[in-house]
Amino acid sequence: MARRLQLVVLPCLLLSAMAAAAAAMPAGDVQSSYIVHVAPAHAPRSKSRLRLVADAYPSFLRASLPTRMLRPEPRVLYSYAHAATGFAARLTRRQAERLASLPSVLAVVPDGARRLQTTRTPHFLGLMQASGLVSASRGAVSVVIGVIDSGVYPEGRASFAALPDTAPPPTFRGGCVSTPTFNGTELCNSKLVGAKFFHKGHEAAVGLALDEAEKSPLDTTGHGTHTASTAAGSAVEGASFSGYAEGKAACWPDTGCMESDVLAAFDEAVADGVRVISVSIAFGAGGWAPRLYEDAVAVASYNAVVRRGIVVSAAAGNEGPGDFTAQNVAPWLLTVGASTIDRQFVANVVLGSSGLTVAGASLYAGAPLGDGTLPLVDGGACEYGSFDAGKVAGKIVVCGPSDYASHTWKGEVVRRAGGAGAVLAGSARYRLHVLPQHHTLPATSVSMYAYRTILSYINSQQALAAATIQFLGTVSGQERTPPSPRVAAFSGRGPNIRAPGILKPDVVAPGESVLASWPNMRASTTTGLELHLDDDDENSLPHLATAWPQFNVMYGTSMACPHASGDAPGGSALMTTAYNLDSAGDVIRDATTGRASTPFARGAGHMDPNRALDPGLVYNALEADYVAFLTCELGYTAKQVALFTKDGGSAAADCSSSSTAATDANYPAFSVLLDGDKVTQRRRVTNVGRLSTTTYSVIVGSPPGVRVTVNPPSLHFMRGLTTKRYEVTFEPMQGAQVTDKYSFGSIVWTDGKHNVTSPIAIIWPPSSDADGEAAAAAI
C-alpha cells in the first residue's frame, strides 16, 4: 500500500520591515514583544481547550504584576500550551524584568526575527522524472507533515491535488482556515489537510496591522509553496521532487518570521497531531546559532520530539562555508545541510581566438548571443552609474567579485549602460562553487579563479580581447557533469558552536536546483529584483512577466530540509544509512574547494531515505539523555533546563555519576573535543531488524593521531527489540603530529546485511587561530 503524505501548512508571515520599536526605548513604558516561559506548575490550568488558557494569561499578568505596573496594559498575543508553556505579549521592559524575577516564570525572551533559509531564482525548468523521497516512501499509515514557512499556494497545483479515497489520519485534529484570499473549503482537500496563519508577532513588531487580503495562509513569496510541495507534494507525473539550491541568506536582510509566530505555529502543529514538522528557518546572515534556551525552535521542537515523537527537520542554514556556521544545532533536531545534484545550468565563456573555455553558470533564458565574439572589457565592480557612455556599449562586460545576490542587478546595470552581455565573478567566500542566477541580458556567473583567468586574458589582449557566452542550458547526468553530490558552499557547517559534542549538520540532502511547486505571482515580488528594479523595468523583463511557471528552481538549505521530512524513520536511521561516496566512488566533495568534504560539512553523509527504512540498529534518545546533556554538557541552570522539560525539570541530572558522565544524548555520531588525556563516550543501540538473532561487529576507522577503542567489539542481539550498550574511548597517540584543526574517522557496526555507520570528528584544542577566537567570541 502506498504511503500517503498529507500536508498541513502553518505559515508565519514574512516580515517585510523590521520594526525599529526596540531601537527607540526612552521612557520605561514603550512596549515590545516578549515570549514569557511560565513554570508549568504555575501555568493556568486547562484540561483540553486552548481558548481557556488564552483567556487565562491576562489574569495571570494581573495577578503577577503590582497594580502600578499594569500601565500601559500588557497585551497577550498568544498563549502556548503544547510546544511550550507560557505566552507572548507586548510588555514594557520594566514589566518584562519584573516577570523574569518571579519564581513562576522561567524566562522572558525578547521576540526575535528568523529568516527563511533560501534565496530564489525563478526559472521554468521543464518537467522531470519523478524521483526522490516522496516516491520512495512506502508503508502503511498517513503522515501529516507540518511545514512552518511562508504559507502555501495550492490552487491549480498538481502537487496539492486531492488524494483519491483518503482522509487524514484520525489522530489529526487540524484544519483549514478561510479568509478573503484563501477559500479553505475549496483549496484544502485530502492532500492539503490544513492551512493556518500566525501574524500577531509580525504585526506587533512592524507596528502596522496587516490588511484583510494579507491575513491568509496564502503564500505570496513562493518559499512555503516550494518547501511544502518538496516535503509532501504528490509525485506529479513527469515532475521531479529532487533538487538542490544555493543559499545566499544575505539577500533577504529585511525579511523573517517572528519567533512568537513560529512558536504559535509549532504549538498548533503539535495540538493538531502532525507527525513531522519541517522548519526551513534559521538566524540570518552573520548569525551564530543561538543558545538553545534562547532559541524558540529548539524549545518548541524539544516538546514536539521528546513528548510527542514528532520528527522535526530543520535547515542547517546558509551561512557556510566557514566553521561553526551550522544553525539549528540541538541534538533532537534533524539538521539538514545542502548538497548539489548532477544537474547544471551551463553557460561558458569562450575567450577570443584562443578558444579557451571558462566554465560558468546561468539561468538566463532569453535570446542568446550570436556565433561571433564581441569585445570583452573589464567593468570593475559594475556599480550603477560607473560606466562612461559608450565604453561598454555592444560589449561583454566582466564584473568583479560580488555576492551572488547582486549578480542579477549587476547584469542589469550592464544592460542599462548598453552592454551586450556580462560575466559576473562569484564571491571569494564560495570559491569554486558557482551559483547560476537569473539575468535580464545574456550573462553568466564564474568563480573567482575563472575571473582571474579572464582578467589576465584581457590584460594580455587589451583592445583585442573578445569573447562570447555559450548557453548550453540544463546539463544533467553523470557523464556530463562533475561527480555528484557535492556539499554546497553555502551550507552551514560544524563544529557545533553551542554543543561541540553533537555533530551538526546531521545529513545533507538536495539543496540546489530543487524543483517544486511555485505560486502564481508577479516575478518582481519573488526574485529579489524588487530590491533594485522599479515597475517600469517589468517591460524589460519579458520572460519574467509572462505566465508564471508552476515549477521553479530555488536554492538553500530550506530546499534540503523538506527532503528529509517526508518519512519518519527518525534522525538516527537517516544518519546511519547515509552514503558518503559520490557518483565517481570518491568521498563526497565540497563544492567550495572541489576536494573531499568532511563530516563537519556533510554530517553523516547524503541521506538515503530508502535505506533508512531498514537501518538495522537505531540510537534512541530518552528525555533523561537530553536532561543530562543540557545540565552536564551545556551547564544550563535548573530554570533553563525546565524551559525544555516542561515538568519543571523533575528528572534533574546528577552530573557526577558515571552513568550520566557521557552527556552525548546517545547521538548517532561522535564529535569529540580532545584537549586532554582521553575521552570515553557511551552509546545504546536498539536492534530494529527484529526478525532474527543477529551479531554485529565493529569496524573502526581511526582518525589520524587518535587511538579509538570500542568495547565490546561485537554485540549479540536476541530476537525482538533489544538494546545493547557499548563504549568508545578516544585517546591521542603519543608523539603523533597532527597539524590539522580536526581529524575524522568512522565507526561502523555491521551484521553483514546492515552497515550502521557513525562519523567521528575530533576537534583538537584551538591554537590561537582565528577560528578559535571566533568561536570563543560567539560563545
Ligand X SMILES: *[C@@H]1O[C@H](CO)[C@@H](O)[C@H](O)[C@H]1NC(C)=O
SS3 92: strand
CB of 195 to ligand X, least distance (A): 13
- The span from the CA of 337 to the CA of 335, in Å, is 7
Q: Do 265 and 174 touch, CB atoms closer than 8 A? A: no
Contact status, residue 683 vs residue 728, Cβ threshold 8 Å:
yes
Contact of 123 with 363, CB cutoff 8 Å: yes
Put the strands of the sheet holding 742-750 in their side by side order: 670-673, 755-763, 742-750, 694-701, 714-717
Q: 3-class SS at 322?
A: coil
Task: For cell 507540518, name the residue.
Answer: 146
Q: Does the active-site annotation cover 223?
A: yes
CB nearer ligand X, residue 185 or residue 734: 185
- Determine whether 156 is exposed, middle or buried from the number of CB atoms within 10 Å of its CB (0-12, 13-18, 19+): exposed
CB atoms within 10 A of CB 703: 23
Q: Specify the residue, 183 or 460, whose C-beta has the smaller distance to ligand X.
A: 183
Q: From the CB of 105, what's the least distance to ligand X, in Å?
A: 43
Q: Which is nearer to ligand X, 271 or 748 (CB)?
A: 748
DSSP-assigned states of every residue in 472-483:
EEEEESTTTS-S
If binding means CB under 6 A, how many residues of this protein chain bind ligand X?
6
Residue 131 binds ligand X, judged by CB under 6 A: no
Contact 313, 505 (CB under 8 A): no
CA–CA gap between residue 351 and residue 357 (Å, rounded)? 6
Query: Rounded to the nearest whole angstrom, what is the least distance from the CB of residue 186 to ligand X in the complex?
Result: 4
Q: Give the shortest CB-176-to-ligand X separation in angstroms.
A: 11
Sign of CA dihedral 281, 286, 289, 291: negative
Within 13 A of 87's CA, how many CA atoms are on the CB side?
A: 27
Report the alpha-carbon distance of residue 535 to residue 529 in Å, rounded.
10
Query: Which CB, 360 or 745, lies closer to ligand X?
Result: 745
Q: Which of 97, 186, 212, 254 binds ligand X (CB under 6 A)?
A: 186
Comparing CB distances to ligand X, the nearer of 583 and 750 is: 750
User: Among residues 330 and 708, whose Cβ is nearest to ligand X?
Assistant: 708
The distance of closest approach from Cβ of residue 187 to ligand X in the complex, given in angstroms and rounded to an integer, is 8
How many CB atoms within 10 Å of residue 676?
Answer: 8
Smallest separation (angstroms) from ligand X to the CB of 722: 21
What is the chain's length? 779
Which of 430, 420, 401, 427 lies closest to 468, judged by CA?
Answer: 420
Q: Report the residue number, 176 or 347, with the smaller CB distance to ligand X.
A: 176
* Residue 645 beta carbon to ligand X: minimum distance, rounded to whole angstroms: 38
Which of 183, 354, 525, 546 is the binder for ligand X (CB under 6 A)? Answer: 183
- Measured over the CA atoms of residue 495, residue 499, residue 503 and residue 507, the dihedral's sign is negative
> Measured in whole angstroms, how far is the alpha carbon of residue 47 from the centre of its chain?
35
Which residue's C-alpha cell is 552592454?
Answer: 419
- The catalytic residue among 223, 226, 563, 606 is 223
CA pair distance 76, 58, nearest whole angstrom: 7
Residue 189 or 709: the one with the smaller Cβ distance to ligand X is: 189
By CB under 6 A, which span of 22-30, 42-50, 181-189, 240-248 interacts with ligand X? 181-189
Nearer to ligand X by Cβ, of 315 and 669: the residue is: 669
Which residue among the candidates 123, 142, 149, 517 is catalytic per the annotation? 149
Cβ 616 to ligand X shortest distance, Å: 9
> Considering the rule CB under 6 A, would residue 585 count as an interface residue with ligand X?
no
Residue nearer to ligand X on the CB measure, 135 or 755: 755
Q: How far is the CB of 183 from ligand X (least distance, A)?
A: 4
Tell me how far apart the alpha carbons of residues 504 and 671 are, in angstroms, rounded to a whole number: 9
Question: Would you count residue 185 as binding ligand X (CB under 6 A)?
Answer: yes
Contact window for ligand X (CB under 6 A) among 11-19, 178-186, 357-365, 718-726: 178-186
DSSP codes joined into one string, 358-427: E--B----SPPP-SS-EEEEE-TT--TT-SPTTTSTTSEEEE----GGGHHHHHHHHHHTT-SEEEEE--
For ligand X, the binding residues in 438-457 under the rule CB under 6 A are none
With contacts defined by CB under 6 A, name the span among 101-109, 182-190, 257-265, 593-601 that binds ligand X: 182-190
Q: Supply the minimum distance, in Å, between the C-beta of residue 593 and ligand X.
A: 25
CB of residue 755 vs ligand X: minimum separation in angstroms? 4
Structural contact between residues 511 and 318, judged by C-beta atoms closer than 8 angstroms = no
The amino acid present at 302, given as its one-letter code, is Y
438 is catalytic: no
Of the two residues 186 and 647, which places its CB atom closer to ligand X in the complex?
186
Q: Which residue in the list 32, 79, 234, 558 is annotated as catalytic?
A: 558
Task: Rank residues 435 and 612 by Cβ distance to ligand X and give the closer one.
Answer: 612
376's grid cell: 570583452
Tell me, residue by residue from 702 to 741, as one string, x for binding to ligand X by CB under 6 A and - for no binding: ----------------------------------------
* DSSP codes joined into one string, 452-503: HHHHHHHHHHGGG-EEEEEEEEEEESTTTS-SS-EE-TTS---S-SS-TTS-
What's the CA gap between 467 and 6, in Å, rounded? 51
In terms of Cα–Cα distance, which of 85, 6, 119 is closest to 489?
119
Measured between alpha carbons, how far is 661 from 450 in angstroms, rounded to an integer?
Answer: 51
Integer Cα distance of 65 and 260 in angstroms: 22
Nearer to ligand X, 97 or 186 (CB): 186
Residues 735-754, interacting with ligand X (CB under 6 A)? 750, 753
Tell me how far apart the alpha carbons of residues 103 and 648 are, in angstroms, rounded to a whole number.
11
Q: Which range touches ligand X (CB under 6 A), out of 73-81, 106-114, 179-187, 601-609?
A: 179-187
Rule CB under 6 A: choose which of 189, 686, 755, 771 binds ligand X: 755
Q: How far is the CB of 345 from ligand X (least distance, A)?
A: 34
Q: Which amino acid is at 107?
A: A
Q: Is 149 a catalytic residue?
A: yes
Which residues of the chain form contacts with ligand X (CB under 6 A)?
A: 183, 185-186, 750, 753, 755
Active site residues: 149, 223, 558
